[in-house]
Amino acid sequence: MEMFRLDGKRAVVTGGASGIGRATAALFARAGAEVVLVDLSAESADEAAKAIGAESGSKVSAVACDVSDEASVTSAFAEIGGVVDLLVNCAGVAHIGSLQTTSVADFDRLYRVNVRGTFLCMQAAVKMMAERKSGAIVNLASIAATAGLSDRFAYSMTKGAVLAMTLSVAKDCLPLGIRCNCISPARVHTPFVDNFVAKNYAGKEAEMMAVLAASQPIGRMGTPEEIAAMALYLCSDAASFITGSDMPIDGGFKTLR
């Protein structure tokens, strides 16, 4: 862990109360960072912050925020205040549907959270990072950004936008000393997957989990901790030569299928 230590760094993790966001917050705290969890649910964020702080011994706090709302993001980052060295954008929502079956309401909902939310949080963080000419941002994209997936029209649209924003921010922020990268996972076993399978495949959960696992040539879904480990690397000084990159963690999905 020594080369990936984040001692003296302050990290903001959106969507930090569950799934990949919580795993990232926990790993960053263990690596010595002060962590601020940003989540829509104040109660969930507070619970996660207390648990992670107790386990890691690091300072961990929580701020409630609707990342899709400009006023909420402005208020949240004002509350965070001080120095922000690292930002990991994990907040996001998913949707099942093709072009034909996706409603305008669902399209707009995914855009607001996944695209607008990532934009607003990056904008707020970069303003704080620019003062010190230093910082690192990691956005959660997806294999859906660059691979055609069935029934993931709106979700793919948003993750393609996250990838494009990452590249643009990386370019524009070179003079500011701020690095910006993204991670593109395949399927990751999170509470969202469990809830989705239970809701849509009642009585056939095991069969559907096997199907989801088999989508990756490696034969299983990823874990939140594996995605968090890549985020830690990208935010650490060990990755100081990496910016404008999209890092696939996909069990061979794009290259071995």
Reading the chain (257 residues) residue by residue, the pLDDT tens digits are 789 999 999 999 999 999 999 999 999 999 999 999 999 999 999 999 999 999 999 999 999 999 999 999 999 999 999 999 999 999 999 999 999 999 999 999 999 999 999 999 999 999 999 999 999 999 999 999 999 999 999 999 999 999 999 999 999 999 999 999 999 999 999 988 898 889 888 999 999 999 999 999 999 999 999 999 999 999 999 999 999 999 999 999 999 98
The DSSP bridge partners found for residue 35 are 11, 60
pLDDT value of residue 196: 82
| Strands in the chain per DSSP E | 10-14, 34-39, 60-64, 86-89, 135-140, 178-185, 246-249
- State how far the Cα of 169 lies from the Cα of 89, in Å rounded to an integer: 14
DSSP letter for 115, please.
I
CA distance 249 to 256: 13
pTM for this predicted structure: 0.96
Annotated catalytic residues are 155
pLDDT at 68: 98
Largest Cα separation within the chain, whole Å, is: 55
Query: CA-to-CA distance for 132 and 111, rounded, in angstroms?
Result: 31
Q: Is 244 exposed, middle or buried (0-12, 13-18, 19+ CB in 10 A)?
A: middle
Distance from C-alpha of 163 to C-alpha of 141, rounded to nearest angstrom: 6
pLDDT number for residue 21: 98
The CA R_g of the chain, rounded to the nearest whole Å, is 18
